Amino acid sequence: MQTNTPHILLVNPWIHDFAAYDFWAKPLGLLYLAAILKNHGFDVTYLDCLDRFHPQAPTTDPFARHGRGPYLKTRIPKPAGLEDIPRYFSRYGIKPEWLRRDLLALAQPDLVLVTSLMTYWYPGVQETIKVLKGVWPEVTVVLGGVYASLCRNHAEQHSGADRIQTGPAEEYILKLVGDYTGFHVRPDFDPGNLDTYPYPACDLQSKINYVPLLTSRGCPFACKYCASHFLSSKRMVRRPELVVEEIRYWHEQHGVKDFAFYDDALLVNALIHAVPMLEGIIKAGLKVDFHTPNALHIREITRRTARLMYRAGFKTLRLGLETAAFEARKELDYKVTGAEFKRAVDRLKEAGFQKNQIGAYLLTGLPGQDLHVLEESIKTVKQAGITPILAHYSPIPHTALWQEALASSRYNLAADPIFTNNAISPCQDKTFSWQTLSHLKNLTAN
So what's the pLDDT on residue 329?
54
So what's the pLDDT on residue 330?
61
Q: E strands along 13-136, which residues?
A: 15-17, 43-48, 73-75, 90-92, 111-114
So what's the pLDDT on residue 396?
97
* pLDDT tens column, 125-180: 999 999 999 999 999 999 999 999 999 999 999 999 999 999 999 999 999 999 99
What CATH number does the domain located at 7-181 have?
3.40.50.280
Angle separating helix axes 371-383 and 434-445, nearest 10 degrees: 10
At a CB cut-off of 8 Å and minimum separation 6, what does 56 contact?
94, 95, 98
| CA pair distance 269, 256, nearest whole angstrom | 28
So what's the pLDDT on residue 2?
43
Low-confidence ranges of the chain (pLDDT < 70): 1-3, 326-335, 429-432, 446
So what's the pLDDT on residue 331?
61
Give yes or no for a contact between 426 and 409, defined as CB atoms under 8 angstroms apart: yes
SS3 for 185-202 is CCCCCCCCCHHHCCCCCH
Architecture of domain 211-445 in this structure = Alpha-Beta Barrel (3.20)
- Do the domains at 7-181 and 211-445 have one common CATH topology? no
- 74-78 own/partner pairs: CB under 8 Å, 24+ apart: 76/16
Q: Where are the domains of the chain?
A: 7-181, 211-445
| CA pair distance 415, 233, nearest whole angstrom | 27
Alpha carbon distance, N-terminus to C-terminus of the chain: 65
So what's the pLDDT on residue 336?
80
Half-sphere exposure of 31 (CA within 13 A, CB side): 17
- β-pairing verdict for 314-322 and 289-291: parallel
* pLDDT tens column, 82-139: 999 999 999 999 999 999 999 999 999 999 999 999 999 999 999 999 999 999 999 9
Which pTM was predicted?
0.95
So what's the pLDDT on residue 431?
65
